[in-house]
Amino acid sequence: MIRAILELLTGLMGRCGIPLRRLCPAVGISRSSVTRWRNRVGGSGPLLQRPGPRKMTTADITAVTQDVKELGHNRHRSHGTAALYQKYCGSISRRDLDEMIDTARAEANHEHRAQMRRITWNASGVAWSMDDTGYDRPDAGGHTPMLHHLEDLGSKYKFPPLCGALALGEEVAGNLRHHFIVNGAPLFTKRDGGGNLNHVEVDQVLAEYAVLPLNSPFRYPPYNGAIEEAQGELKTGLKNQISGVEWRQSDNLEPYARAAVHEINHRPRPCLGGKTACQVFFNNRVVFSKPERKAIYGWIIERRNHIINGGNAVSRETAWRIAAEQWLVMNGFITISINNQVLPNFQERWHH
């Protein structure tokens, strides 16, 4: 490429008589670069060289690669890179080392995702999930609209979201009560640590209808990954509804959000055997009586205490989640898998 550029410039100078100082700005190349390339033509070295001082020794790539793999790779950062560069700064450039680290971190993240468990909910009416998310497009006042999302995990049926400012705890509780009355209460409700989702009035509504809470671990969104995925689906549907529409206030989003949810709920899904979320939710729902809920709660509490007293170094909240998942697996309401391979030993994980 560089040789072709030099030939082109030389030809123009010879045919048109244009000096190099006028040609270089016209083609967008600095005169110093052209001069440097012309001086290097015919030499044994490369026409292009990486910036920075030349390294005095050659790096042991095998050793560097191994050390890079052993760094503390997180999702966006790798810990220990400064010390590693000091170790190899005489034989490898920071640019090359950063590229190796980026590649290793991407591979580590891929392996982590491959090992993550996937939970498949096998029945509707067993668990709902709720969360809040901000819409990507601000309103005319520069405010980010908030969407309070509630979904049945087994059928992926979405309830009409609350739109506007972040829903207060009282609003979340009222929304739950409304849908419990209209559609019947699930056995579990999944939520994260948001203050409005854990409000005292929300807990009172859950207790009133004997709905068992499943709280996500602190700063671990994958535990409630289904709702995270559903929020992306909701925002895409909302974006399609308001395309080309001028809306000025966040509160005006609700009709469009309801239309988006209606369209999504009536879309056939391969994971539901070609049925729609609406069909599955209203025709294949599992209903739990108050005595059944009480018995299930007692079983989970007993199992939680067994896990804690068995010497497992877990908190009460973690033990509660494990016991609840164990009950769900034993009764066929969820399937836990890694890379679509069912885990047959999950029930025995905390048996001892």
Residues 6+ apart with CB under 8 A from 300: 212, 320, 323, 324, 327
Q: Are 228 and 338 within one domain?
A: no
Which range marks the domain in which residue 108 is found? 59-115
pTM passes above 0.85: no
Residues 262 and 342 in one domain: no
Same domain, 80 and 158: no
**pLDDT in the model for residue 180:** 96
Residues 263 and 232 in one domain: yes
Instruction: Give the CATH number of the domain where residue 230 resides.
Output: 3.30.420.10
Residue 145 has pLDDT above 90, yes or no: no
Cross-strand bridge partners of residue 131: 149
∠ CA 114-116-117, rounded to 5° = 125
Which one is predicted more confidently, 113 or 230? 230
Confidence tier at 38 by pLDDT (50, 70, 90) = confident
- Shared-domain flag, residues 149 and 202: yes
Half-sphere exposure at residue 137, Cβ-oriented, CA atoms within 13 angstroms: 16
Note the pLDDT tens digit of each residue in 224-249: 556 667 777 888 888 888 776 665 55
Mean pLDDT on 270-296: 93
Single out the residue in 242, 270, 286 at which a domain terminates. Answer: 286
Same-domain pairing of 161 and 282: yes
- Residue 208 is predicted with a pLDDT of 96
Distance, in Å, from the CA atom of 151 to the CA atom of 158, rounded to the nearest integer, reads: 4
Q: Are 280 and 298 within one domain? A: no
Mean pLDDT value of segment 2-10: 72
pLDDT tens-digit map of 40-83: 666 555 555 555 555 545 557 788 888 888 888 887 888 888 88
Task: Return the H-helix or E-strand segment holding 264.
Answer: helix 254-265
Structural domain tally of the chain? 4
Last residue within a domain, chosen from 243, 260, 286: 286
Give domain status of residue 178, yes or no: yes
- Are 260 and 349 members of one domain? no
pLDDT at 139 exceeding the cut of 70: no
Residue 348 pLDDT:
41
What is the per-residue pLDDT across 290-313, written as a single tens digit (0 to 9) for each?
999 999 999 999 999 998 887 666
Do 35 and 161 belong to one domain?
Answer: no
- Longest Cα–Cα distance of the chain, Å, equals 97
* Domain co-membership, 197 together with 102: no
- Which residue's structure tokens are 């804690």? 308
Do 187 and 240 lie in a common domain? Answer: yes
Report the chain's mean pLDDT, rounded to a whole number.
80
